[in-house]
């Protein structure tokens, strides 16, 4: 059973695997290459993944057979285990609990080489709807406090499989980064009685210097204090705390801005590796006036070095104003 | 002039370069290779670096000529500029100031291929003494609030030069990560009236399961909530808030534990890339009862992916107890 351990000074949680599978010596070889050849996520290989949790099957085909356009399965090598109790306990000065949680893989397309920039809009809509469905389903499990949805594109961004997929991790604690964001946004709200993201949105949509793309409901933004070159956020124009509360008709607009953003990124930077993460409300307070869900996209173009790790201070060689302009013109 | 920009939600600071030197298109090619051939940090090439700020010259040779055993120069491509005023100002909802600070390079040895694991103890002592000298000198500049000292070893850890060197950045604000640590340690102190690090040290030196190496004054530890495989901290056994307050005689002991730690790491993991960072007190409160300076070493063995970026939650496949045992036996 993996363990959740808390750093007593910073309050940061870590999932420590206690499986003995990976020997320390295996780290001497460091480079992980994307597996060529056989792909367990491709149609026809459904028996190589754990059984599907949900799937979109326009042809009404049977579970765990080909015919799907999107498929969600448990991660074969989960960071957390779904069964058991948290069993929170001390170890002297330290706090820990069992590594309980869900770790799922959203297989986004049957097409092994599809990119978000090449996918049909309907396909992207389905991915976003699948995110919502899984959040709603998992939020019924009262052990969970937060659901993290993320996507790793390319080996440099930590992907171990090339086939297009996102991942979901349901956690029994709210992680540090979202907690910090909620605290910052709440402190602003307590002072101004306004959502800080709504204020940012108003300023950005007026100035327009950092806007990358836009439609009636959503827009993409190179944020003012971008940590990384070409960092982009996708935000809803109207206040909404939790991602899963997006009404159904808005997913078409969201898919459109996703498609636009990744087309621009892939054109401008020749299909860069990237990570994106959904930032949404914790499960026990989905209706806050101060949280405002959004996606953060980080192209992995520069290396993170000691200064950034030690300080949490970033050096960004590309002003977001320039990045936004370059992307708009791509 | 670079700009310091603050993310209004998280409070995180970013140095945004406004130099137009690096065109967006240059990011399409991503891999940075360590430069082979000519090395601007090698003896004989002193005129290829900015003039030296200090040097250890046992032969009393002239500044900016060979003969040095250690040399400190300004970074040729500084992230921050030393001249000017902070000029703190608003840009609508946002906060920014001029990118004022110092960015120095500590050239640790005249020997291009030296590693911390192969360096004579005296050489390591000199590096640690140079850290102290630079902190004491820069702390006289009242614009600075924090000094970050770090080392990037290997291309995967963000090093752009192979020659052994550390870096120093003096900042006009205390960065987020140290601020969080001070807050966590202070909250523990307010409750217990004890330093949290001192309590950790007592528990660890009793249990011994996560100790890597030890002498009379310092020890190395695989921390309980290690974020990364083989993460190691080096701590002083006795409470001390600021690194530069180490009395002179202790540097021999500190050099010894440095040498021991990097010998073990290089043997166990075949000279892995790594970052280390000094965590020390802010310049305006060097004598706190709750801060306890230490080094954090992060071997760069695994990739950081979307989950970690989005959540600040880490997945560590190697329990620190196993890592410590493996290193002790290396």
Q: Contact B301/B327 with Cβ under 8 angstroms?
A: no
Mean pLDDT over A59-77 rounds to: 96
Distance CA A309, CA B101 (A): 19
Q: Concatenated DSSP letters for B30-85?
A: -PPPPP-S--TTSTT-GGGSSPEEEEE-TT-PPTTSS--SEEEEE-SS-SSBSSS-
Give me the pLDDT at residue A286, please. Answer: 84
State the best of A313, A319, A327 to mutate against chain B, taking most chain B CBs within 10 Å.
Answer: A313
A330 has pLDDT over 90: no
Q: Say whether B294 sits in a helix, a strand or coil.
A: strand
Judged by CB atoms closer than 8 Å, whether chains meet at B316 and A152 is answered as no
Give me the pLDDT at residue B24, please. Answer: 59
User: Which token pair is A68?
Assistant: 């799907």
Q: Is B163 a catalytic residue?
A: no
Closest chain A CA to residue B33 = A303
For CA atoms B280, B283, B287, B290, give the dihedral sign. Answer: negative
B6 alpha carbon, distance to own chain's centre = 22
Tell which B residues from 124 to 143 touch A, by Cβ distance under 8 Å. Answer: none
Q: Contact B313/A148 with Cβ under 8 angstroms?
A: yes
- Residue A23 vs residue A169, higher pLDDT: A169
Q: Complex ipTM, two decimals? A: 0.92
- Which residue of A226, A313, A320 is in closest CB contact with B171? A313
- Residue of B103, B165, B279, B294 with catalytic role: B165
Domains along chain B with CATH numbers:
3-18+33-175 (3.30.428.10), 177-328 (3.30.428.10)
Give me the pLDDT at residue A303, please. Answer: 84
Give me the pLDDT at residue A31, please. Answer: 47
For CA atoms A192, A193, A199, A202, give the dihedral sign. Answer: negative
For residue A220, name the pLDDT band (cuts at 50, 70, 90). very high
Q: Contact B273/B156 with Cβ under 8 angstroms?
A: yes
Give me the pLDDT at residue B26, please. Answer: 61
Give me the pLDDT at residue A235, please. Answer: 98
Give me the pLDDT at residue B276, please. Answer: 97
Q: Say whether A39 sits in a helix, a strand or coil.
A: coil
Whole-prediction pTM: 0.94
For CA atoms A82, A86, A91, A93, give the dihedral sign. Answer: positive
Give me the pLDDT at residue B29, please. Answer: 42
Q: What is the mean pLDDT of chain A?
A: 93
Tell which B residues from 35 to 74 touch A, by Cβ distance under 8 Å. Answer: none
Instruction: Report the half-sphere exposure of A276 (CA within 13 A, side-chain side).
Output: 21
Q: Contact A147/B313 with Cβ under 8 angstroms?
A: no
C-alpha triplet B118, B119, B121: angle, nearest 5°: 125
Q: Please count the residue pairs, one from chain A and one from chain B, whose beta carbons lie less than 8 angstroms apart.
A: 300
User: Which token pair is A73?
Assistant: 């399965």
B223 interaction partners in chain A (CB closer than 8 Å): 7
A297 has pLDDT over 60: yes
Tell me which residue has tokens 């070493």: B297
Instruction: Report the half-sphere exposure of B107 (CA within 13 A, side-chain side).
Output: 33
Q: Contact A142/A240 with Cβ under 8 angstroms?
A: no
Nearest chain A CA: its distance from B326 CA (Å): 7
pLDDT in tens, A4-43: 999 999 999 999 987 655 555 565 444 445 556 899 999 9
% of chain A with per-residue pLDDT over 70: 95
For residue A277, name the pLDDT band (cuts at 50, 70, 90). very high
Judged by CB atoms closer than 8 Å, whether chains meet at A93 and B199 is answered as yes
Q: Contact A253/A217 with Cβ under 8 angstroms?
A: yes
Torsion angle of the four alpha carbons A97, A82, A76, A121, in this order, in degrees rounded to the nearest 10: -110
Distance CA B9, CA A279 (A): 13
Tell which B residues from 189 to 208 touch A, by Cβ distance under 8 Å. Answer: 196-197, 199-200, 203, 207
State the best of B4, B5, B24 to mutate against chain A, taking most chain A CBs within 10 Å.
Answer: B24
Give me the pLDDT at residue B286, please. Answer: 84
Instruction: Report the half-sphere exposure of A277 (CA within 13 A, side-chain side).
Output: 22
The β-bridge relationship of strands B13-16 and A314-316 is: parallel
B6 interaction partners in chain A (CB closer than 8 Å): 225
B320 interaction partners in chain A (CB closer than 8 Å): 16
Q: Where are the alpha helices (DSSP H) in A165-249?
A: 176-192, 196-207
Distance CA A297, CA B86 (A): 31
- Range of weakest confidence among A278-287, A305-314, B68-77, B206-215: A305-314
Mean pLDDT over A150-156 rounds to: 94
Could you tell me which residues come within 8 angstroms of residue A20 by beta carbon, excluding any fewer than 6 positions away?
Answer: none
Distance CA B328, CA B3 (A): 45
Mean pLDDT over A193-212 rounds to: 97
Q: Concatenated DSSP letters for B197-211?
A: HHHHHHHHHHH-TTE
Give me the pLDDT at residue B306, please. Answer: 87
Give me the pLDDT at residue A37, please. Answer: 81
Q: What is the pLDDT along chain B (330 residues), one digit of tens a residue?
A: 899 999 999 999 999 987 655 555 565 444 455 556 899 999 999 999 999 999 999 999 999 999 999 999 999 989 999 999 999 999 999 999 999 999 999 999 999 999 999 999 999 999 999 999 999 999 999 999 999 999 999 998 999 899 999 999 999 999 999 999 999 999 999 999 999 999 999 999 999 999 999 999 999 999 999 999 999 999 999 999 999 999 999 999 999 999 999 999 999 999 999 999 999 999 988 889 999 999 999 999 988 888 888 888 999 999 999 999 999 998
How crowded is residue B28: how many other Cβ atoms within 10 Å of its Cβ?
A: 12
- Taking Cα atoms as reference points, which of A260, A179, A229 lies closest to residue B183? A179
Number of H helices, E strands in chain A: 6, 15
B322 interaction partners in chain A (CB closer than 8 Å): 24
State the best of B310, B320, B328 to mutate against chain A, taking most chain A CBs within 10 Å.
Answer: B310
């Amino acid at each position: 059973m993996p363990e959740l351990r808390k750093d007593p000074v910073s309050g940061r949680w870590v999932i420590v695997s206690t499986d003995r599978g990976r020997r320390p010596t295996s780290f001497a070889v460091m480079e992980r290459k994307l597996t060529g050849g056989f792909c367990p996520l491709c149609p026809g290989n459904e028996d190589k993944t754990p059984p599907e949790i949900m799937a979109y099957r326009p042809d009404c085909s049977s579970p765990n057979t080909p015919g799907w356009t999107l498929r969600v399965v448990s991660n074969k090598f989960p960071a957390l285990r779904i069964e058991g109790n948290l069993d929170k306990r001390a170890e002297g000065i330290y706090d820990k609990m069992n590594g309980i949680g869900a770790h799922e893989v959203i297989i986004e397309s049957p097409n092994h080489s599809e990119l978000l920039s090449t996918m049909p809009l309907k396909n992207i809509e389905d991915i976003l709807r699948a995110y919502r469905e899984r959040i709603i389903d998992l939020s019924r499990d009262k052990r969970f406090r937060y659901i993290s949805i993320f996507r790793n594109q390319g080996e440099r961004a930590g992907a171990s499989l090339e086939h297009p997929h996102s991942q979901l991790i349901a956690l029994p604690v709210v992680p540090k980064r979202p907690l910090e964001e909620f605290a910052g946004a709440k402190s602003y709200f307590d002072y101004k009685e306004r959502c800080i993201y709504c204020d940012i949105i108003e300023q950005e949509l007026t100035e327009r210097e950092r806007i990358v793309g836009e439609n009636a409901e959503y827009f993409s933004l190179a944020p003012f204090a971008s940590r990384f070159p070409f960092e982009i956020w996708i935000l809803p124009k109207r206040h909404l705390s939790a991602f899963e509360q997006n009404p159904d008709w808005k997913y078409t607009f969201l898919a459109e801005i996703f498609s636009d953003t990744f087309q621009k990124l892939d054109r401008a930077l020749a299909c860069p590796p990237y990570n994106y993460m959904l930032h949404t409300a914790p499960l026990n307070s989905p209706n806050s006036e101060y949280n405002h869900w959004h996606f953060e996209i980080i192209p992995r173009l520069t290396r993170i070095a000691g200064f950034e790790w030690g300080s949490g201070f970033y050096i960004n060689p590309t002003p977001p104003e320039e990045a936004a302009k370059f992307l708009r013109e791509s």
